[in-house]
Structure 1
């Protein structure tokens, strides 16, 4: 695992220390790692949303679509299914 040292103003260091204590992190590094993971997740979700928004429009989802899903689910959840 790599190491990174960061400098924070006293107010931010105090905030981090409070979060570590209040939210049950064992170290400030654990807290920062969690923030970075959440930011990665947010960026990935944003990319997926943008890709979806720029993709071709699909067929509308209507009652027939859901009826087909229910039929497939019922077929796959019967006694002979391999679930």
Structure 2
């Protein structure tokens, strides 16, 4: 008898899809009872997965993986 393959990912592994020739991933984590969600894009699924894992680890350790030059802050007019 063949075994069924588990099609579900574990919590924290994110969601991946391909759009316009690029891979996109969305990751979410709960910190201080608030949901934090971030989307990443890259040329390969593995690249997006690694970037998402780095982000999750940085959030858990209260550090940042992004330099201030890459961060855009929108302020109300």
Q: What's the TM-score bracket when you normalise by the shorter of the two chains?
A: 0.3 to 0.5
Higher helix share: 1
Higher gyration radius (CA) = 1
Q: Which has the higher contact order (CA 8 A, sep 6+)?
A: 2
Higher strand share: 2
Normalising by structure 1, what TM-score?
A: 0.31
Normalising by structure 2, what TM-score?
A: 0.33
